[in-house]
Amino acid sequence: MHDTIIVLDYGSQYSQLIARRVREANVYCELYSWRTPAAKILSHNPKGFILSGGPNSVYDEGAPTLPDYVLESGLPVLGICYGMQLLAHKLGGRVASSQAREYGRALLHLDSPDHPLFAHMPHSAEGLPVWMSHGDKVEALAPHFRPIAHSDNAPFAAAADEQRRYYTVQFHPEVVHTEQGTQLLSNFVHTICGCHADWTPANFIEEQVAAIRAQVGNGRVVLGLSGGVDSAVAAALIHRAIGDQLTSVFVDHGLLRWGEAEQVVDTFQDRFGMNLVAVNAIEEYLDMLAGITDPERKRKLIGEKFVRIFEREARKLGQIDFLAQGTIYPDVIESAAKDRPEAHTIKTHHNVGGLPDDMQFQLVEPLRWLFKDEVRRMGTALGLPDEIVWRQPFPGPGLAIRCLGEITWERLEKLRKADAIFTSELAAAGLLRWGTAQAFAVLLPVKSVGVMGDQRTYDEVVALRAVTTDDFMTADWARLDLDLLARVSRRIVNEVKGINRVTYDITSKPPGTIEWE
């Protein structure tokens, strides 16, 4: 069992980030609602607790509280923002409620530069940039606490009770704007909690290989490979554990990006030597989608068809005992949060949610404790190519919801070519992996007049979409270089027959969405 840190979630938008940062310090960490029963939390045998921020005031009626087991455990505790106020409130300090929020960058001055919480954090007289986002603040420290850092606005930007190993910070060490925040969290988990740095891809792979073998025994496993990162990494990991007992089913619905289908077959069948059933279902999908323009109808039909084809192929394989899925930790956290906070819900993959009752499999979900960046690290460690590991998120219904209006093979091919030009230019500029979170082309259901040579043209229009975002809930349009946009536009109009106009989408989310449908 790994040395484990538990983050108790008080509702901050940054709670998941805390857990990610701790894992970046190679320490295993799980995020749970503060309401989770003590027995569940203590079964992890944690080495320390981190209390997240949250939107409440400790004075709100029904405000989230600090469960008794946290302090009774005698373990180190780090309280961040609301977590700091909660500790102060509980231990006899005073929290000042406030209507005004302090939001944004502040400079932190260390009163105790040698404090272990601040080890390896170079600082100057100017102060350390940190990110504040709070209304209430601690006005009087609880007995036995002493201030260890201040900012212009907060005399107690950080405070500690060394004896009991309680540490509190008003700012958010987990966000990138707190430039040395990762180091601070690393100091807490390593030096103060004494955790070993044993959460590494190699360790994880070794453990999961053993766990998968123990779960599956001699059974047979089927997995739906979509071309995306999660199912690809799950396939590679399970294959390493049980080899030929795994069969992956890849349904080519003709709605993938340029070269994607070939790459899946090439990687998994040819290079990994995996049992792969590649189904060419392009005609079937095109027939089904003919004349359909409503986005939700497209989604529904595509999802249902996938289930039917997957079922058909799985039945052909004979006795199958397990269904493997690329569920990842954010899915687990989100589904648990939707129901009772303490519930441990399994989210059914949207693609295979509707399998018939006589096809109930046990689930194998080796990635359910990993964040996306960890999934990518595992993928690389398992030998998957960068093009798969670093692929941007792609919606389940694929190009169908980027091909606005009627879906025909000819229109899909146009879209695929335009998209490949855009993304290859972004890749060449180093903007596909970093710099844009999602970038793609959309084929619009309009024609416009143009002129090429001496000829009047009347052809279709492509919109380019590129966004930056951390969580895909909100997004901003990427401020791409104008010369790059000019090159992409020129190439698309010259190289893709049937497109004579290119536009760039400058709508953020909200009010827009990332996809156009």
By CB under 6 A, name the binding residues for ligand XMP: 299, 393, 395-397, 438, 472, 509, 513-515
CB of 228 to ligand XMP, least distance (A): 9
CB of 475 to ligand XMP, least distance (A): 7
In a 3-state reduction of DSSP, which class is residue 362? strand
Taking the least distance from each CB to ligand XMP, the nearer of 217 and 393 is 393
**Active-site hit among 2, 89, 150, 174:** 174
CB of 261 to ligand XMP, least distance (A): 17
Residue 496 half-sphere exposure toward CB, CA atoms < 13 A: 29
Taking the least distance from each CB to ligand XMP, the nearer of 95 and 307 is 307
| Token reading at 423 | 């993304």
CB of 295 to ligand XMP, least distance (A): 9
| Token reading at 297 | 């109808």
Contact predicate 85/136, CB 8 Å = yes
CB of 491 to ligand XMP, least distance (A): 24
**Active-site hit among 89, 134, 172, 190:** 172
Taking the least distance from each CB to ligand XMP, the nearer of 119 and 301 is 301
Provide DSSP, 256-312: SPTTHHHHHIIIIIIIS--EEEEEE-HHHHHHHHTT---HHHHHHHHHHHHHHHHHH
Residue 81 annotated in active site:
yes
> How far is Cα 251 from Cα 282, in angstroms, rounded to an integer?
9
Residue 172 annotated in active site:
yes
> How far is Cα 464 from Cα 436, in angstroms, rounded to an integer?
13
**Active-site hit among 2, 29, 81, 89:** 81
Taking the least distance from each CB to ligand XMP, the nearer of 240 and 305 is 305
CB of 516 to ligand XMP, least distance (A): 8
Contact predicate 329/17, CB 8 Å = no
> How far is Cα 151 from Cα 170, in angstroms, rounded to an integer?
10
Residue 304 annotated in active site:
no
Provide DSSP, 195-242: --S---HHHHHHHHHHHHHHHHTT--EEEEE-SSHHHHHHHHHHHHHH
H or E stretch covering 20: helix 15-24
The residues annotated with a catalytic role in the active site are 81, 172, 174
